[in-house]
Structure 1
Amino acid sequence: MDVAPPPSCRNTNPLFFPGTRTIKPKFIRALRWIFTCCDHDKDGTLSDLEMNDFHDLKLFNFALNAVLHPPAPLYFPETMTLKPRCVKALKSIFIRSDHDKDGALSDAEWNALQVKCFNRRVQRNLSEGVNRTGLTLTGFLKLHELRLKDRRLEYTWSMLRKHGYGGDLKLRDDYIPASFKREPDQTVELTNEAVEFLKNIFRSFDLDEDGALQPADLEDLFSPAPESPWERAPYKDAAVETALGGLYLDGFLSKWSLMTLLEPAKSLANLIYIGYPAETTSAFRITRQRQVDRKEQQSERNVFQCFVFGPKRAGKSAFLTSFLGREISESYVSTPEECFAANVVIDSEGTKKTLVLREIPEDGFKLLMSNKDSLADCDVAIFVHDSSDLTLWNRASEMLFDVAQHGENSGFEVPCLIVAAKTDIQLPSALEPEDSLWVPISEGLEAPILVSMMLGYGRDVFHRIIDAAKSPHLSIPETEAGRSRKKYTQIFKQSLIIGSAVGAALLAYSQCTAGDSTSC
């Protein structure tokens, strides 16, 4: 269908009466016919339209086609070439249809794509953009450009919509089939199948086989996606990078784990964009509730999230920077927003785990504590303080008390560790705070871990964080109120058990006295 308006419509306006904004009756009839077809999802007929209406229906053909198959997102009208985002979407479709990953669509793959989108097989070959194995990406894109030049926009739009794209040339929300409904203390992780797929993708783009993907490689990898998902916070600079800003395999997988933890739907969409071949439900798993982990006294998670608390100037940002192996600045720069750092850590059993550090700014601490479920997805919390400044230590202990109290009230208690930073300035001789908050909650907690990120001292702290997260029943601080509540609960449960036993004994005795005493 030609989407260009007919010449008779360019200088006149047959839709309205001259000098008014009143629609002509014949167009009202045509509009009713169009809306009837749309409302009832049927082709409809022109039997209720007058014959002399047909001449001006070309305008409606133009308008209707522009609504159903808008040209603006697809191509530049001046050059009749595809727009970058359209190229990205079509490239993603090509990659998803290239099942053997040989860079071309074979006859079988091309026919399968045609049947999926148009319910018909290929009728003729394209001489341009074809190699010995089939239709190449260049030929695939050229085919769509030829269709656009012929004003066959419905061809491209049908293929895009069949593969889940909306009008913005992004995957629609309803196309993401996996359900991520979960309890607050459950998280989403990549499955082994998804990790293996990502490893293979990494190797296929590591053309120089140096074990790293440089920025140009990453740009090429995400070229089927509307945009790179890691160009902005919280993913930018959130993993170990090469000197040129690229990613090693562990850093590459760490960013995927971070994105899956924070935004599983976004992670799934990008897996689809780059050609994840299996059922999308096989890409993720929902972890067991952390409350259950605490009862079982072990965690089976592969990705642990650690909240990093502490007052300003305590060294939280330096702690994250050191975790990523970067040089630490000696000048202080305030961090007003939450920051993330993800890296692979080998636990005491030699198993690789992904540790995600989440820096909580002091200014955002009260807001975090105002949310009942704010600690639900926290596997372990650390409290960083400047070991040379007792005032900062007192503030850190106050935050520790608030977190302990919040965990007791919400039911989401977390293991806690204390990190005494900047030990290169002054080794702490007395770490107890001036107030009385520290003593009631110190039982069950490990001694403060001494670290100096400037000197690289105490880097085993990251292994200790993993070990604490794997044992969610240990290192949990208790307030005096929480301890009293737990003691009361235990007494109440014991009373119920004793009461039940006494009741059962009385019932048995009454049955014996009511019956034959010799049978008792």
Structure 2
Amino acid sequence: MSQESIRVIVCGDDNVGKSTLISALVKGEYIPNIQKKLPPITISNEDYSECLIELISNSPVKGSSRNSITDKRVSKYIPHTTVLIDTMSSDLVGLQKELKRGDVIWLVYSDHYTYERISLHWMPMLRSLGVNLPVVLCANKCDTTLGDDTSQNSDEFLPLLNEFKEIEACVRSSAKQNINVVEAFYMCQRAITHPISPIFDSKEGNLKPAAVAALKRVFFLCDKDQDGYLNYQEFSSLHTKAFERTADITEYENILRTLDRVIFPETEQDGLHPGISEDGFILLNKIYAERGRHETIWGILRSFSYTNSLSLDDKFLFPKIDVNPDSSVELSPLGYRFMVDLFVKFDKDNDGGLSENELSSLFYPTPGIPKLWRDCQFPSSIVCNESGYVTLQGWLAQWNLTTFLDYRTTLEYLSYLGFDEGSSIKALQITKPRKRRKKQNKVYRQPVFDRNVFNCFIIGAPKSGKTSLLESFLKGNYSEMYSPTIQPRICAKDIELRGGKQCYLILEELGELESAILENKSRLDQCDAICFTYDSSDPNSFQYLIDLRLKYEDTLDEVPCVFAALKADLDKQQQRGDIQPEIYTRDLSINSPLHISSNWATSLNELFIQIVDAATMPSTATAGLEKEPENINDEKYKHIVLAGGTISIMTLVSLWIWRNHAK
């Protein structure tokens, strides 16, 4: 990418014209009899930007516009200053010192003897010093040694290009006749700002694999209708993104004809293609590389935030965002819209679910399904249809779960997947920090009105029914077979609150990590509520909760909680513990246990609603805190805010359903 300043080390044998080239560049004319070594010379961007832009714009590429790159786009990558460092071959110590500080080497020769010295002395010496810098090879004094031949592709350069990969470019120049002096200077800059070595293998004559992979990803993201071709509208959108101007239809048609001539050299193939295919797009960029249009390729790649190493820029993948530890992060309306559009786009058969092949296609421009999803046992963490395919409901829930647990993963994948509304930060929104108060010598949480995603830990004795509760939450049914939970299990789903309002609830069973998590204050701070469960048909089940709460009293008491008596469809047993559940909860000044059965859908819904109520109005569910009469207006306000926060979700889902029916 661009940098503030680059250092060009001008080196070569004595009397090849190094100092004369520098003076001709700076003064714009030939100056005879100058000193043998010039002091460092700094050249500003403004001095040569117009000239360099003209060089780029006039770069000879058949079938493309001479103004493909605008002044604004080119000047973005021209460094603010360039420092030219003159050297003397006899001063080996000074030369080595400058080489270690340089960014690019301008290596000059002027006759057959100094040409031979390039391969016999200079390049081996650079390698022996461990200097890993791009080299621009300059055949100077071409007015006296080569007549009118100033071609940059002479056979003289080919052996050196094939032998030394460090050589980025070759040029013939003459300081006396002012031939290619500025061009040579520009090539030194271009070796840093638009290097050819990462994208093109000159020996093999092909784009390098990393460049092909990057360009394929660009093609995939630009192929909006996923038909395998870039039509004119898609090509023009890419052109605008890369070069800040729309493409002319004539230019597009010329590219199609150029590709036809290369692919079908012996036949007439005009107007038979619906657009530029992926192979054609790769071939087009190969042609650009062969004809010296590195800037065009880099213009495309950099508009998609690729660095010189052909990796995506970390600042693009992980934009800086400040999140208060007491806040949470959720999808914004823009984020919901992007995710809904993505689902619709890749649900090719319009069956309302993403199959494995459709998911694989969707995640093509990414490193694959996020590791966080695999850790959450995706897709068992969300709602799927009867075929096991991810539904839109489950898709949105999974991204809410991801954003809640690790918003950096969401930011990263928004970038990979082509979120194009500016920074990926726009797809997220940060909730207000959760505040705390102290009353009756007890710290408790303030009500929250701007959150639509809530996290709840499900805690209880083994075999109390925690896993069945999670299965019923997602699927509406459960398995009779008991399987102990070893690793933590998490799932997410949208639920409907009173009055039709919607939010997302994340339920988390802690497994064998229960003790470690309950001892971790930061994890408990992220938890919105805890659901304490026991088996109402097992007389020993509730004592587990009494012992657990006693053990972690200092950390658990601040978190709002709900008690649930599971398996309520079975015969209720008197608990053999120190105290009965109803008396225990009454002494804690919280609601009595809800009697829940996976066979009773109404009871399940009531439990999930009560969990959200505890999360939004913590004072009503904080153990040991005496209740005060609720402010009716506050309760109204809470529901209004929750409803407003989910309008965008419901609107987007309704829009998706309407679009499917319309098809």
Q: TM-score, normalised by structure 2?
A: 0.56
Cross-structure match for 2:264:
none
Aligned-partner Cα distance in 1 for 2:534–2:311 = 45
Match of 1:305 among 455, 461, 464: 455
Deviation at 1:431, TM superposition (A): 7.9
Aligned-partner Cα distance in 2 for 1:79–1:426 = 79
Question: Are residues 1:93 and 2:221 paired?
Answer: no
Return the letter of the residue paired with 2:615: A
Question: Are residues 1:383 and 2:383 paired?
Answer: no
Equivalent positions of 1:311-322 (< 5 A) are: 311-322=461-472
Deviation at 1:325, TM superposition (A): 0.3
Deviation at 1:379, TM superposition (A): 0.9
Cross-structure match for 1:423:
568
Cross-structure match for 1:472:
618
Aligned-partner Cα distance in 2 for 1:396–1:86 = 58
Aligned-partner Cα distance in 1 for 2:94–2:115 = 12
Please tell me whether the aligned partners of residues 305 and 355 of structure 1 are also in contact (alpha carbons under 8 angstroms): yes
Please tell me whether the aligned partners of residues 585 and 591 of structure 2 are also in contact (alpha carbons under 8 angstroms): no
Q: Secondary structure of the residue that 1:354 maps to in structure 2?
A: strand
Question: Are residues 1:398 and 2:547 paired?
Answer: yes
Match of 2:609 among 433, 445, 463: 463
Match of 1:62 among 154, 165, 180: 165
Return the letter of the residue paired with 2:622: I
Please tell me whether the aligned partners of residues 519 and 552 of structure 2 are also in contact (alpha carbons under 8 angstroms): no
Deviations 1:206-255 (A, max 9, x none): 23322222222222111111212276121512101122221111111001
Please tell me whether the aligned partners of residues 540 and 576 of structure 2 are also in contact (alpha carbons under 8 angstroms): no
Return the letter of the residue paired with 2:451: R
Deviation at 1:311, TM superposition (A): 2.8
Match of 1:373 among 516, 522, 533: 522
Return the letter of the residue paired with 2:376: P
Aligned-partner Cα distance in 2 for 1:35–1:116 = 37
Cross-structure match for 1:240:
383
Please tell me whether the aligned partners of residues 416 and 476 of structure 1 are also in contact (alpha carbons under 8 angstroms): yes
Return the letter of the residue paired with 2:434: R
Aligned-partner Cα distance in 2 for 1:417–1:400 = 13
Deviations 1:48-106 (A, max 9, x none): 996544225447841577997777x999x9997986x8766434433555689995464
Deviation at 1:353, TM superposition (A): 0.7
Going from structure 1 to structure 2, the CA distance change for 1:48 and 1:219 (only over 3 Å counts) comes to same
Count, aligned residues: 440
Q: Secondary structure of the residue that 1:112 maps to in structure 2?
A: helix
Deviations 1:147-174 (A, max 9, x none): 7899999976775455334689663432
Equivalent positions of 1:42-191 (< 5 A) are: 43-46=104-107, 52-55=116-119, 57=123, 58=160, 61-62=164-165, 89-94=214-219, 103-104=230-231, 106=233, 108-115=236-243, 125-127=255-257, 128=259, 135-144=276-285, 159-160=300-301, 163-165=304-306, 171-176=312-317, 178-191=319-332
Cross-structure match for 1:37:
102
Aligned-partner Cα distance in 2 for 1:322–1:472 = 25
Aligned-partner Cα distance in 2 for 1:331–1:64 = 68
Going from structure 1 to structure 2, the CA distance change for 1:357 and 1:427 (only over 3 Å counts) comes to same
Cross-structure match for 2:510:
360
Cross-structure match for 1:449:
594
Q: Secondary structure of the residue that 1:391 maps to in structure 2?
A: coil
Q: Secondary structure of the residue that 2:491 maps to in structure 1?
A: strand
Return the letter of the residue paired with 1:55: S
Cross-structure match for 1:348:
498
Cross-structure match for 1:494:
none
Aligned-partner Cα distance in 1 for 2:95–2:287 = 31
Deviations 1:88-141 (A, max 9, x none): 643443355568999546454343355379xxxx89725438988864444323
Give the number of the structure whose alpha-carbon radius of gyration is greater.
2
Going from structure 1 to structure 2, the CA distance change for 1:207 and 1:289 (only over 3 Å counts) comes to same
Cross-structure match for 2:430:
286
Return the letter of the residue paired with 2:413: N
Structure 2: unaligned runs, 5 residues or longer: 1-89, 124-159, 169-190, 246-250, 261-270, 438-443, 627-663
Aligned-partner Cα distance in 1 for 2:205–2:105 = 36
Deviation at 1:370, TM superposition (A): 3.0
Match of 1:218 among 346, 359, 374: 359
Aligned-partner Cα distance in 2 for 1:228–1:428 = 46
Please tell me whether the aligned partners of residues 318 and 412 of structure 2 are also in contact (alpha carbons under 8 angstroms): no
Return the letter of the residue paired with 1:221: L
Q: Secondary structure of the residue that 1:418 maps to in structure 2?
A: strand
Please tell me whether the aligned partners of residues 386 and 393 of structure 1 are also in contact (alpha carbons under 8 angstroms): yes
Aligned-partner Cα distance in 2 for 1:86–1:420 = 59
Return the letter of the residue paired with 2:374: R
Aligned-partner Cα distance in 2 for 1:383–1:250 = 27
Larger relative contact order (C-alpha < 8 A, sep ≥ 6)?
Answer: 1
Please tell me whether the aligned partners of residues 321 and 425 of structure 2 are also in contact (alpha carbons under 8 angstroms): no
Match of 2:350 among 209, 223, 234: 209
Cross-structure match for 2:411:
268
Going from structure 1 to structure 2, the CA distance change for 1:436 and 1:182 (only over 3 Å counts) comes to same
Task: Report percent identity of matched pairs.
Answer: 25
Q: Secondary structure of the residue that 2:525 maps to in structure 1?
A: coil
Please tell me whether the aligned partners of residues 105 and 136 of structure 1 are also in contact (alpha carbons under 8 angstroms): no
Q: Secondary structure of the residue that 1:204 maps to in structure 2?
A: helix
Deviation at 1:435, TM superposition (A): 9.8
Aligned-partner Cα distance in 1 for 2:332–2:394 = 17
Aligned-partner Cα distance in 2 for 1:135–1:212 = 30
Q: Secondary structure of the residue that 1:345 maps to in structure 2?
A: strand
Deviation at 1:284, TM superposition (A): 0.5
Match of 2:370 among 213, 229, 245: 229
Aligned-partner Cα distance in 1 for 2:327–2:272 = 49
Aligned-partner Cα distance in 2 for 1:131–1:110 = 22
Q: Secondary structure of the residue that 2:559 maps to in structure 1?
A: coil
Q: Secondary structure of the residue that 2:526 maps to in structure 1?
A: coil
Cross-structure match for 1:496:
none
Please tell me whether the aligned partners of residues 299 and 469 of structure 1 are also in contact (alpha carbons under 8 angstroms): no
Question: CA RMSD for the aligned pairs?
Answer: 4.4
Please tell me whether the aligned partners of residues 169 and 226 of structure 1 are also in contact (alpha carbons under 8 angstroms): no
Segment of structure 1 superposing worse, 444-453 or 289-298 = 289-298
Q: TM-score, normalised by structure 1?
A: 0.70
Deviations 1:378-397 (A, max 9, x none): 11111122223333311122
Q: Secondary structure of the residue that 1:309 maps to in structure 2?
A: strand
Return the letter of the residue paired with 2:239: N
Q: Secondary structure of the residue that 2:608 maps to in structure 1?
A: helix
Aligned-partner Cα distance in 2 for 1:436–1:325 = 29
Return the letter of the residue paired with 2:429: R
Q: Secondary structure of the residue that 1:477 maps to in structure 2?
A: coil
